[in-house]
């Protein structure tokens, strides 16, 4: 069983390998884990301890559609050149990219190069499709709606769809940017004044034509930041419910460390493998 492992932003394959050491010891020896670095060198990421030495990497330059498309293309190259792979273990940004890749392939009716994914503390999934959410974004731009203003004092009446879009962003990336200056996102003013093709196209069910159909396991820490838990919940929501398993652990933004929690994740991975073979 060959698994591609994708690290979080401002981290590296080597750091993720260390993060997963306890988890890896509990896996069946038949699992081969392949750790790779993102293609873009960057600053140390949020939560990466000072004692961890660089270099540090990101899977994306930014989160615009063109940058997400580039990241998906790079991931496709790895899957082809170093595969075949049975699945992906993604952490944080790596988990979000995994979902972006799977959805893009599925929506285009292209063959997937993996059968399942285990996603740890998934960050906000974004689409390479510049048309995703275009009508909502255009309306908010016409209103010069300040999405970063969480006081609800913008004064404009929004439709249910527009308010949902604002709520999703405010509960995730806006809240994260407010509370963590290292959080890797863009200036929210891009939604009002920036170029349309520079605006990140966040993914949540109301904007999607379908949900992700392959088995996915979603794992996050109950003590993680509220905005990161919300991102993980959004990531889970874009996957078909009957093909989803969820494991909550007692940590924060990390891989589970307790043996009982690790074993709970592995049982869900076994379930996913069984689904693929069925």
Catalytic residue numbers?
Answer: 92
List the Cα angle 124/128/134 in 5-degree steps.
Answer: 90
Which are the contacts of 89, defined by CB distance < 8 A and separation ≥ 6?
Answer: 3, 4, 5, 6, 20, 33, 117, 118, 120
User: Bridge-partner residues for 138, per DSSP?
Assistant: none
Q: Are 243 and 275 in contact (CB under 8 A)?
A: yes
Cα–Cα distance for residue pair 175/225, rounded to 1 Å: 10
Burial class (CB in 10 A: 0-12, 13-18, 19+), 198: middle
> Which of these, 56, 88, 47, lies nearest to 221 by C-alpha position?
47
User: Bridge-partner residues for 11, per DSSP?
Assistant: 57
Cα–Cα distance for residue pair 243/275, rounded to 1 Å: 8
């Amino acid at each position: 069983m060959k698994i591609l492992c994708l690290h979080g932003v401002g981290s590296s394959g080597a750091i993720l390998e260390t993060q997963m050491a306890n988890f890896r010891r509990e896996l069946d020896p038949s699992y081969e884990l392949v750790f790779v670095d993102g293609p873009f060198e960057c600053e140390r990421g949020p939560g990466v301890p000072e004692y961890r030495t660089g270099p540090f990497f990101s899977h994306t330059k930014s989160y615009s559609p063109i940058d997400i498309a580039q990241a998906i293309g790079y991931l496709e190259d790895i899957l082809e050149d170093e595969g075949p792979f049975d699945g992906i273990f993604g952490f944080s940004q790596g988990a979000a990219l995994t979902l972006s890749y799977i959805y893009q392939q599925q929506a285009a009716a292209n063959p997937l190069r993996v059968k399942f994914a285990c996603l740890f503390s998934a960050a906000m999934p974004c689409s390479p499709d510049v048309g995703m959410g275009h009508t909502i974004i255009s309306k908010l731009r016409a209103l010069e709606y300040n999405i970063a203003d969480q006081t609800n004092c913008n004064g404009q009446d929004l439709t249910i769809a527009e308010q949902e879009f604002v709520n999703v962003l405010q509960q995730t990336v806006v809240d994260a940017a407010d509370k963590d200056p290292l959080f890797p996102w863009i200036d929210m003013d891009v939604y009002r004044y920036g170029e349309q093709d520079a605006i990140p196209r966040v993914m949540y069910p109301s904007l999607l034509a379908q949900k992700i159909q392959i088995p996915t396991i979603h794992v996050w820490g109950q003590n993680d930041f509220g905005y990161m838990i919300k991102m993980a919940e959004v990531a889970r929501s874009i996957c078909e419910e009957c093909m989803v398993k969820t494991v909550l652990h007692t940590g924060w933004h990390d891989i589970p460390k307790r043996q009982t929690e690790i074993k709970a994740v592995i049982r869900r991975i076994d379930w996913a493998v069984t689904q693929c073979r069925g």
